[in-house]
Structure 1
Amino acid sequence: MTIKTILGYEIVPGVSPEEYEQWLFEVHAPDLLANPHLDRIVFNKVLRPVRQASGGTADVPEGLTFYRIAEMHYADEAAYQAYLDWFTEHPIPAERGPAGRTDFRFYLVTESTEVTR
């Protein structure tokens, strides 16, 4: 069983996509991956809502948008808890964190099941 946290977010107004991308990949991702309990991060850049066969768009509430949907993967629930505990002992300095850059729309802990061909 894989545990994932799944996050949907926008960039805070006033932060350019270029500034955000630089911070995300040069500062934030390395800070997160310093935690030995996190297996990997998948950053999914949102391109657009999916069009339904009827020609409409998927049910996205008016004004709700996402810059990215990110997935953070952990071996199991114990690894996720160890991840949280590790950051309690090794906090990310506020100036390196997401505050003032990332507008989280949701942040979920999930149990993942993959189906492949």
Structure 2
Amino acid sequence: MIKALLGYGIVEGVSEEEYERWLFDVHAPDLLANPHVDRIVFNKILYPVTSASGGTAQIPPSQTFYRIAEMHFADHDAYQSYRAWFDENPLAVERGPAGRTDFKFYLIGESTVVERDR
């Protein structure tokens, strides 16, 4: 499995309520219309983790996030097919993230899962 990992904030002037409504009522269904994405996980950031010494981790304002999202794909070919599908079926501009989402990063990664034996 590979993942697209996206870290982002909300564009100034857009409320959390407006953003959440758009994200789950418009954007997520638009993304899931693409048959090549298996799953989307939206991780809402609650707070930075404290450092090992007990102090609060210092995070520069440019590296703060509202969410870190994961888009899961079977393999790299599925991800390439996902991109090609949107080239052929583009999102309407008014439904897309422009003007709402302040992207900080978009990375492709390969996942290794380690689980506790039960």
TM-score band (shorter)? over 0.9
Query: Mind listing any 5+ residue stretches in structure 1 that lack a counterpart?
Result: none
Cross-structure match for 1:38: 37
Cross-structure match for 2:57: 58
User: How many pairs were matched up?
Assistant: 116
CA gap of 1:63–1:79, structure 2 versus 1, over 3 A, is: closer
Distance across 1 between alignment mates of 2:80 and 2:73: 10
Cross-structure match for 1:18: 17
How far does residue 59 in structure 1 lie from its aligned partner after superposition? 5.1
Within a 5 Å distance, the mapping from 1:100-115 to structure 2 comes to 100-115=99-114
How far does residue 57 in structure 1 lie from its aligned partner after superposition? 2.8
CA gap of 1:107–1:63, structure 2 versus 1, over 3 A, is: closer
How far does residue 58 in structure 1 lie from its aligned partner after superposition? 3.2
Distance across 2 between alignment mates of 1:32 and 1:63: 27
Cross-structure match for 1:3: 2
Distance across 2 between alignment mates of 1:8 and 1:54: 26
Compute the TM-score of the two structures, normalised by the length of structure 1.
0.95
Between stretches 16-25 and 44-53, larger displacement belongs to 44-53
How far does residue 91 in structure 1 lie from its aligned partner after superposition? 0.3
**CA RMSD, Structure 1 to Structure 2 (Å):** 1.1
CA gap of 1:83–1:63, structure 2 versus 1, over 3 A, is: closer
Percent identity between the two aligned chains: 71
Within a 5 Å distance, the mapping from 1:73-84 to structure 2 comes to 73-84=72-83
Between stretches 25-34 and 51-60, larger displacement belongs to 51-60
Distance across 1 between alignment mates of 2:75 and 2:59: 31
Between stretches 47-56 and 60-69, larger displacement belongs to 60-69
Letter in 2 for 1:77: H
Cross-structure match for 1:92: 91
Compute the TM-score of the two structures, normalised by the length of structure 2.
0.94
